[in-house]
Amino acid sequence: MKRYTLRGEPRPADATHFRIPYAEALNPQQLEAVTTLDGPMLVVAGAGSGKTRTLVYRVARLVESGVTPGQILLLTFTRKAAEEMLRRASGLVGGSCAQVAGGTFHSFAHQCLRRYGSEIGLAPTFTILDRGDSEDVIGLVRGELALDRKERRFPRKRTLGAIFSMAVNKGTTVADLVAADYPQFVEELEDLLRVYDRYTEFKDAKQLLDYDDLLVKLRNALATNAELAARLGRQYRYLMVDEYQDTNALQSEIVRLLAAPHANVMVVGDDAQSIYGFRGADFRNILDFPRLFPGTRVITLDQNYRSTPSILDLANAVINRAPEKYTKNLFSRRAAGERPGLVQALTEPEQSRFVAQRILELREEGVPLQDIAVLFRSSFHSFDLELELGRRDIPFVKRGGFRFIETAHVKDVLAHLRVIANPADAVAWNRILLLLEGVGPKKSGEIRAAIGGPSPWERLADVRVRGQIAAELHRLASLLGEVARSTNPGEQVSRVLAYYQPVLRRVYRDDYPKRERDLEHFATIAERYRATGALLADMALEPPTDSVGGILAADAADEGLVTLSTIHSAKGLEWHTVFVLWAADGRFPSPYTVGDDADLEEERRLMYVAITRAKDLLYLTYPIEIYDRGVGVIFGKPSRFVADLDESLLEPIALVDDE
């Protein structure tokens, strides 16, 4: 087949034709990034420095310079981000950006494979499997191999899908990933690999591609088909990539191969905001970019348009201690503002009281609730605060992880306390009984019918059942008897947890380590209660997920909700006031990262991201008395990321009770 190459329109030699006043709209660094069109370029865009604006104006500049819009490719991590950038660029140049190719890595890969897949042996009619479809295929394969009938519970299809996907995105083997991140499945490794191999064979035979396959097949096509790589290089003469620090090994390789014919590639990102290593993102991609593309021009955007100088001074001090980084010093032309507060509370409840009280004060000062956020390293760090906000009728929404009361394992533990408080609680009884091996809905109903009365746990051992179920009921009867004889909530929860731990590991085998940490924190909360009724009431009065449950419903409609969020879920967002909860060593950084330098540095970057979400006010809080169930009360210290910084960067705040 003969091919005819269409050449792009010649670019004008001078700038007199440009309609957009670039020099007026951009600062000098942004202007340099926008007007440098050829060759490799890395834009290190600090937090709040206008990276999106820079990308938008560069698309417009390319179009105004005579580049055919269809020769521009903008890769982002969400379709919404790409659409918004191209919409804004079209607004600048009169709608001529409609033909710019923009979207996610996966959507671009899909487009290429539909068009050119036949050249690599892929049928044009291939089907894309979404996450649910992929899990269904894995479930089918698992059933074919009879692994769902093993005596020991085999990993769920969702967990298997996560393992397979992570191995691909990290560029490692399934075996190595299991050894590193899923040690509870090492004994099942041989069968797990059988599932993976059969899953791969099934997809190939049926012309099915999951999300990861889209990237793998595009990467392989570009690497092995020189003619196709050259053709795509000619088609997309100008390549731009947003949030490059979040790319994984596959995505980085695709960028390298696409840009190889011309090297006209601009990547934008911030090494200091690389926080998704657990998803497969590789921090080294942005550090190694100049090595992959010799002659790379590095431009640093360090003027921040979000935060006060006082907040930026703290952010700079935290990230400047990173051993590997691009040097930058964020600055702002705003007024200095208040110094970030380092709030030392005596206990976790006191920490929660401070945050709740300060939120109410800020609302009275005119700060809307929706412009206030509480950020934390791990989802369970907010459990106590959730209870305190509920007590004070402060409506909130939680992003990243489940709300405390909505977690299945917490509900399981509470159900054991509920049947003691209310023996007629059929819902709680059903939940408890369904946790027993061999008990399904029908058997649960039969058991509940047989134990009616004032103290039903005393009759559990007399229910006529055989074998394993009988032994299970005896153990449950013994536990509930012990719980009923105690009046101390902390002691009751401790007894339930001792009984429940093997149940937890069996029922939630795929992720029980995380759930165990949640329950340890719940036990700490229970220790502070004097009456079980009060504990159960506080749990039950928490608003449900999908609404504020009538709590200040009218006000919530007017002024929104306070945001509670993991830091990972808060990236890219900003608020007037930010509280960073549990900024204590051993909690932030996570104790599970302390032994690994790479993981510890990602924790440092996570702190940087948390700090730079704040526009006007920032509070880092921590308790000095931390209860650990293993060793008792330990002395808490500020996070190592802020503990040794210059004292002028933080305003120490000690909490005192109003006498």
Q: Which residues are catalytic?
A: 51-52, 242-243, 273, 613
Answer yes or no: are the C-beta atoms of 120 and 221 closer than 8 Å: yes
Non-local CB neighbours of 566 within 8 Å, separated by 6+ positions? 375, 376, 377, 378, 379, 399, 400, 401
Answer yes or no: are the C-beta atoms of 479 and 432 closer than 8 Å: no
Non-local CB neighbours of 192 within 8 Å, separated by 6+ positions? 155, 160, 163, 174, 178, 185
Q: How far is CA 580 from CA 292, 320, 378, 396, in A?
A: 37, 20, 11, 16
Q: Tell me the three state secondary structure of residue 571.
A: coil
Classify residue 5 by its DSSP letter.
P
Identity of the residue numbered 399:
R
Going by C-alpha positions, the residue among 177, 433, 157 that lies closest to residue 280 is 177
Classify residue 557 by its DSSP letter.
H
Pairing label, strands 575-580, 396-399: unpaired
Q: Which helix (H) or strand (E) holds 299?
A: strand 297-301
Q: Tell me the three state secondary structure of residue 590.
A: coil
What are the backbone angles phi and psi of residue 262, rounded to the nearest 5°? -135, -20
Q: How far apart are CA 132 and CA 140, in angstroms?
A: 12
In the structure encoding, which two tokens stand for residue 416, read together? 């054991």
Going by C-alpha positions, the residue among 544, 476, 482, 490 that lies closest to residue 520 is 490
In the structure encoding, which two tokens stand for residue 224, read together? 């092995």
Q: Tell me the three state secondary structure of residue 277.
A: helix
Q: Tokens 């101390």 label which residue? A: 488
The separation between the first and the last C-alpha atoms of the chain, rounded to the nearest angstrom, is 89
Pairing label, strands 297-301, 341-345: unpaired
Classify residue 423 by its DSSP letter.
T
99-120 burial, b for 16+ CB within 10 Å, e for fewer? ebbbbbbbbbbbebbeebbeee
Pairing label, strands 625-628, 632-635: antiparallel
Q: How far is CA 54 from CA 66, 160, 267, 300, in A?
A: 19, 40, 11, 12
Q: How many residues does the chain have?
A: 659
Q: How far is CA 119 from CA 116, 123, 221, 233, in A?
A: 6, 9, 9, 16
Q: Tell me the three state secondary structure of residue 175.
A: helix
Identity of the residue numbered 169:
N
In the structure encoding, which two tokens stand for residue 317, read together? 């001090």
In the structure encoding, which two tokens stand for residue 291, read together? 């090595």
Q: How far apart are CA 514 and CA 512, in angstroms?
A: 5
Exposed/middle/buried for residue 471 (C-beta within 10 Å: 0-12, 13-18, 19+): middle
Answer yes or no: are the C-beta atoms of 304 and 574 closer than 8 Å: no
